[in-house]
């Protein structure tokens, strides 16, 4: 689900909370992968063990751990980037806004060359004072 639709559906605070939970679940996966990696390395060093099995276990744990680290950093960075723009410039209320439905512009619809690499934006409206501004991610 795209970010504007997800925020429209749940509200910003619930969306943000959910992003942090999902991000930190990847951190837990990273820690489990590190434990598996250490256990596999120790078992790999045993002379009577099945070295090919422990070697493949170490490789799989390392791959999962790298993916989990990358995903963790991506989710938290994106959530923080949006949260840093979530304060209403007019009344300073945090996270009390709604996404304006037709104004959410997905990245793919911008076709000009100058817009490539430009961040996607959504237009939001403060529920307290009605101020409108853009949030990009
Ligand atoms: Zn406001």
Flag whether pLDDT at 113 surpasses 60: no
Rounded to the nearest angstrom, the distance between the alpha carbon of 125 and the centre of ligand 1 is 8
Flag whether pLDDT at 10 surpasses 60: yes
Cα-based distances in Å from 27 to 30, 37, 73, 89, 116? 5, 15, 9, 33, 31
Domain that holds residue 99: 3-136
Rounded to the nearest angstrom, the distance between the alpha carbon of 127 and the centre of ligand 1 is 7
Which single residue is written with the structure tokens 């104004």? 103
Q: Quote the number of domains for the chain.
A: 1
**pLDDT the model gives residue 118:** 78
Mean pLDDT of 121-127: 95
**pLDDT the model gives residue 103:** 46
Q: 19-36, pLDDT tens digit by residue?
A: 999 999 999 999 999 999
- CA-nearest of 93, 83, 101, 103 to 126 is 93
Q: 34-80, pLDDT tens digit by residue?
A: 999 999 999 888 887 688 888 999 999 999 999 999 999 999 999 99
Q: Ligand 1 being an ion, which residues bring their Cβ within 5 A of it?
A: 88, 90-91, 93, 126, 128-129, 131
Rounded to the nearest angstrom, the distance between the alpha carbon of 103 and the centre of ligand 1 is 18
Rounded to the nearest angstrom, the distance between the alpha carbon of 108 and the centre of ligand 1 is 30
Flag whether pLDDT at 112 surpasses 50: no
In this prediction the pTM is 0.81
């Amino acid at each position: 689900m795209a970010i504007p639709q997800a925020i429209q559906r749940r509200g910003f605070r619930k969306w943000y909370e959910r992003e942090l939970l999902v991000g930190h679940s990847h951190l837990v996966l990273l820690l489990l992968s590190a434990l598996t990696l250490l256990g596999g390395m120790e078992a790999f060093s045993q002379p009577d063990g099945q070295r090919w099995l422990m070697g493949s276990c170490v490789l799989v744990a390392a791959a999962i751990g790298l993916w989990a680290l990358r995903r963790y950093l991506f989710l938290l960075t994106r959530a923080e980037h949006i949260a840093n723009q979530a304060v209403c410039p007019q009344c300073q209320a945090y996270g009390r806004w709604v996404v304006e439905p037709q104004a959410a512009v997905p990245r793919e619809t911008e076709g000009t060359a100058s817009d490539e690499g430009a961040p996607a934006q959504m237009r939001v409206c403060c529920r307290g004072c009605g101020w409108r501004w853009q949030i990009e991610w």
